[in-house]
Amino acid sequence: MPQTAPARTVMKPIWIALTDDWELRGDGGGDVAALQHRPALALMELYAGCGIPATFCVETLQQLAFERFADADPGLARGRDLWRETVARMAAGGFDVALHLHPQWLHAAHENGFWRLDRRWNLADYDDEEIEDAFARSLAYLRDVCRLPAPAAFRAGSWGACCPSGTILRCLRRHGIRIDVSVVNGLHFWGENVALDYRNLASPYRPYYPDADDIRRPAAAPGDVVEVPTQSIPLSGAQRLEVLAAKALRLLGRKLAGTLGRGAAAPRPGSPAAPRAVAAGLTAATTRSDHIIDLSRIDEVGQRLFDRLLDRVIDRALRQDRPPAFLVFENHTKCLLSPGHFRRIENALRHIRARHGDVVAFVTLREMADNLDRIRPALAH
């Protein structure tokens, strides 16, 4: 019988929101059943067993594309229906649903069994009308088709919310979305599909009111939206060596299993070539300076180091000003493809509970949004 976890309580100075980006691959590849439905059910079961609430960041432009083509393709119809069923299970299970948008789906076409998506993966690279349309139609779908309450939080796909950020932030305000979690300190891409730089943020780990035009900068005055950075932590030199060692072990393991060199599938004949940005680092959680706290990539650093990184993130938050401290952790169901992934997540949660159960409460992004009056988001000095 799984032990019941400590409940969310205002008595705890550290509030952790476990978020999961729920989506197919960025190039449209993958199967809803394998990459979304099954792992989401397993994750929900894991969280429910531990009594831990969580937030699914539901990528909705993909589903709108599926809806457009489902009548002509039974496979897409099944994927669409499975998406709806899974979201219904999230709601029934008491999980929070936040909005997640990967703009490459906005003008998606389905040809010869493959998706042809836009090559721009950063929402900030679209014009105002396109951004407003993406928000309006996605939120209408979640409200009218899925019968969900309006999301309280948002994460941009591929973390792409700048720059400029003005229209995105205006959309968040207009639609009553109070928290954005698109920013993660240290992340930077310069690729064909995404270019962004979140290095050296003025408020790298603590909530702040974002500047009207640049979501990376604190504003001069409070606003209606609060940026709660997804947590990351710098790796020491020794820890970087540990990461390299863990990677070498994984490669050795794959070589011994005979799977080395077969990890990345070559584009199938007739399919659009995979964007070069994938190779440029979108799949890498480790940036040059900071490691993203991503529960789906524990194996990249190993369980022990990941647990130590969690300790550092929580201890760092305890040293901050008055509680509660809001911490957002990342996850990707599309990467949870083996029992080992779930085992590592459960181990990490047990570690948090064992070492920090006295100070940590697990909450949803909606609960954070409902309690913004308890924190003091940073402003520009």
Partner 1 sequence: MDARRRAILAAALRARLADVDARPETGAAPRALPAPEPHADAEEALRRLMVSVVPRLAAGEADMEELRRLLAVVATAARPDDLRFLDAFHRVYELGAQGLPRGALPAAFHQAYRRLLAAALEELDG
* Residue nearer to partner 1 on the CB measure, 211 or 307: 307
* Residue nearer to partner 1 on the CB measure, 52 or 292: 52
Residues 190-249 that bind partner 1 (CB under 8 A): none
Q: Is 8 in the site for partner 1 (CB under 8 A)?
A: yes
Residues 23-52 that bind partner 1 (CB under 8 A): 48, 51
* Residue nearer to partner 1 on the CB measure, 35 or 317: 317
* Residue nearer to partner 1 on the CB measure, 129 or 373: 373
Min CB(47)–partner 1 separation in Å: 11
Q: Is 7 in the site for partner 1 (CB under 8 A)?
A: yes
Torsion of the alpha carbons at 252, 253, 257 and 259, rounded to the nearest 10: -70
Min CB(355)–partner 1 separation in Å: 11
Which distant-in-sequence residues (6+ apart) come within 8 Å of 19 by Cβ? 54, 55, 56, 57, 98, 155, 181, 230, 328, 329, 330, 331, 365
Min CB(353)–partner 1 separation in Å: 9
Min CB(10)–partner 1 separation in Å: 6
* Residue nearer to partner 1 on the CB measure, 13 or 272: 13
Q: Is 3 in the site for partner 1 (CB under 8 A)?
A: yes
* Residue nearer to partner 1 on the CB measure, 50 or 99: 50
Whole-angstrom distance, CA of residue 154 vs CA of residue 228: 10
* Residue nearer to partner 1 on the CB measure, 71 or 358: 358
Min CB(326)–partner 1 separation in Å: 15
* Residue nearer to partner 1 on the CB measure, 4 or 112: 4
Min CB(6)–partner 1 separation in Å: 4
Whole-angstrom distance, CA of residue 184 vs CA of residue 83: 28
* Residue nearer to partner 1 on the CB measure, 81 or 358: 358
Q: Is 112 in the site for partner 1 (CB under 8 A)?
A: no
Using CB under 8 A as the binding criterion, the count of chain residues that bind partner 1 stands at: 22
Min CB(236)–partner 1 separation in Å: 20
Amino acid (one-letter) located at 363: V
Residues 286-345 that bind partner 1 (CB under 8 A): 318-319, 323
Q: Is 376 in the site for partner 1 (CB under 8 A)?
A: no
Closest CA to 123 of 76, 159, 69: 159
Residues 78-107 that bind partner 1 (CB under 8 A): 94
Min CB(266)–partner 1 separation in Å: 46
* Residue nearer to partner 1 on the CB measure, 262 or 319: 319
Which positions lie near partner 1, rule CB under 8 A?
A: 1-13, 48, 51, 94, 318-319, 323, 357-359
